[in-house]
Chains A and B, each alone.
Chain A
Amino acid sequence: MKTAISFLVLILSFNLVCLASAAQKKMIFWTTEVEKDRLEIQQEIASQFSHKTGIVVHVVPVEENFLPERVTAAYAARSLPDVIFHPVDYTIGWAEAGILDHKSATEVVSRLGKETFGKGPLNLVRVPGGYAAVPIDGWGQLLLYRKDLFHKKALPVPDKWDRILKAAKALHNPPQIWGFEAATDPGQIYMQQVFEHLALSNGVSLTNSTGRVDLDTPEMVQTLEFYRSLSRFTPPGNVSWLHTRLDYLSGRAAMIIWSSFILDELSGLRKDQPVLPDIANGKPGFLARNTGFVSTIYGPRGSARYGQMNCLGITRDADRDAARLWVEFLLNDGYMMWLNMAAEGKLPMRKGTRDVPHRFIDGWRDLELGGTSQAKISQFYGMAVLKTIIAGVDGFDRWGLAEGKGSVISKVYGSKVISEILKRFLDGELSAKQAARVMDKRVKALE
């Protein structure tokens, strides 16, 4: 009996505490930056924000893979969070479905100054009547290659298709080393990202010159053939981002395509990611020094730089004033802290302020790898690499986003339909021509 009473008292007092704190304004922020140290930084930004404005921000981590279903469920249940940090793949689709409030986002952009953002990034989120969401950060996709091995065989920089193929053939010696590790796991968006980069580099866009979806083209067939040639130098099975990174860091891959996030692990400064060539040679930083980076790939009929951009979306259920303040805070006072979560994968999409136009770009150069590694990107990799990476602030090539096909792209990324057909092609179930036709048909069915 006694314990029951004390339990009741406990519950009552807890309720009272809750009531007392309910007087403060509260808002919910969903983020796909779910790693523990990054979450701590976001909570720190949130507490600084609430110190300044009195608004309490509840930071909720959501895995990127589960974002579409969580948002769909929350939308149907009328309980969307106030602000969602999300990849641009979903932005336009959500705006068209009425999940994101483009008026609030447009207002934030104009208050911060349209000219303070890169032109390319804003182009990717344009909707009739403004912007669907506010671009915050992004990363460029890189082709990494082993400079030392290339040098030994006198191979040229693999920035063109024929050079990539030739080098892969020359260096392929499994299981010691794989010539080129392509993405072959259709369950991961990574496969779409790598394939889209190569397709774009051959001039394959989602749409043709009349603005209609058109994937059944000779360029696409050529890209498919190229991808299959590359996959011959790839280990069997479903190779995902985890495998390619692991194999590159353990010196078992001569070339991979990865996001600039890898600069952190590659440095060898992280204890949880041992870099085997460094250890084998007894020289810290061996692999980093002997890695070359290509961001623009040249195909027979074009060239492309692929990248990913992340946005802050204000939802229709949001407390608009609070949400706008929070987004503005993240892109202003809290911006350097935000970028510092993982500088190598978070390029500033906002270049500076009205008064200091290059404030954030200059600030970014001084950030450290992985936020806490005590090594600046510029010092560790040198200015040439830095330039390759920072070129991304002006935007990336992407399928369909700038052509107003954002909602189709949401579904392409959501359903992973391109990767699925690509995998069937790689498995020999479809010919290149058939695969191109099926891709075209399936993507058109998503419109």
Chain B
Amino acid sequence: MMNKEGRLAFWMLVPSFAVVMALVIFPLMWNIWLSLKPISLGGLRGKSLFECNLTLQNFQKVFTDPDFGRILFTTLIYTVSGSALSILVGLMAALLVNGKFHGRGLLRGLLISPYIAPVVAVTFTWSFILDPQLGVLNWAAIDNGLFGQPIPFLSQRWLDVHVMGVTLPVPLALIFVIIFEGWRYFPFAFLFILARLQGIPAELYLAASVDGASPFQRFYHVTLPQLSTVLATLFLFRFIWTINKFDDIFLLTRGQAGTKVLAIRVYDYAFGEFNIGASSATGMILFGILAIFLFVYFRWILKSA
């Protein structure tokens, strides 16, 4: 028999349990159900929605799509580099404003701005700046003789770069979408890292200086180990959010020019081809990839901790 306090605890858990059921578990189950049914736009209503005619043909369709491999690869590249870049820039920004100087508060505030600005506004500004015809970047570069002709940063898939006699094709649009991701989300990493930096006791640096450590050694042997947990957690968060990212890429390139990721494919299936089943199946694949990643990550984190 549970005591009074225990029962009360249960009752207090009910609201959050209900919320999780309604907003997480039920949509997930519903998505699994939809992904296993041959369902198009017309099937969104009516009895066929609840019929038990389960099949794997949606997954077959998604996996046999000739572009699937490339989209998956793009998704992984985008997610890993986008997350890493945002953390790297965040780290640099945090180190920059960690010390005391005039106007520090103002600068910190300014550094947050990409994160709080509305996504539609910033994507519009970026595409305007990067536009080959109307953009200021191309104009300035051509005016100064940097480029011979305008470069369509967001709409060209490959750019041949000549480095020391070797010609390398570079995925231009993808790189700029990743740079955007790094720019837009570094403040998130910046806030976490800065908070941790402020918590590192000054004695550690003092002791290191006494031992004759150079600034780089102090960073490598004192700061970085102190930040390791927060960096690992940040990467986890950024990975989860970036792999599910839809709006940024969609607004910048609409998934064209080699920037199509799985999240955009989910949208394409549902609202372009009106194939709800295939869309749900793609969503499930995304979920599966994330689940595997989390499993590996937690195992690794638990072991190292």
Contact = CB atoms under 8 A, between A and B. Distances in A.
Interface in B73-115: none
B40 interface: yes
Contacts of A94: 41
A185 to B, nearest CB: 7
B258 to A, nearest CB: 9
A261 interface: no
B221 interface: no
B272 A237 contact: no
Contacts of A185: 155
A129 interface: no
A269 B85 CA distance: 49
Contacts of A417: 272
Interface in B249-287: 253-257, 267-268, 270-274
A23 interface: no
Nearest to A423: B256
Size class of the contact patch on chain A: 35 or more
A12 B157 CA distance: 58
B45 A98 contact: yes
A98 B270 CA distance: 17
A75 B256 contact: no
A238 B154 contact: yes
A363 interface: no
Interface residues of B, number: 30
A76 B134 CA distance: 41
A186 B158 CA distance: 16
A429 interface: yes
Contacts of B134: 243, 246
Given A72-B41, A97-B41, A187 B272 contact: no
A9 B40 CA distance: 48
B150 interface: yes
B44 A416 contact: no
B94 to A, nearest CB: 36
Contacts of A246: 134
B38 interface: no
Nearest to A187: B254
B171 interface: no
Given A97-B41, A427-B157, A411 B256 contact: no
Contacts of B272: 68, 411, 414-417
Nearest to B253: A187
Given A237-B155, A246-B134, A411-B273, 6 more contacts: A78-B45, A93-B41, A94-B41, A238-B154, A414-B272, A427-B257
Interface of A: 68-69, 72, 75-76, 78, 93-94, 96-99, 184-187, 235-239, 243, 246-247, 410-411, 414-417, 420, 423-424, 427, 429, 446
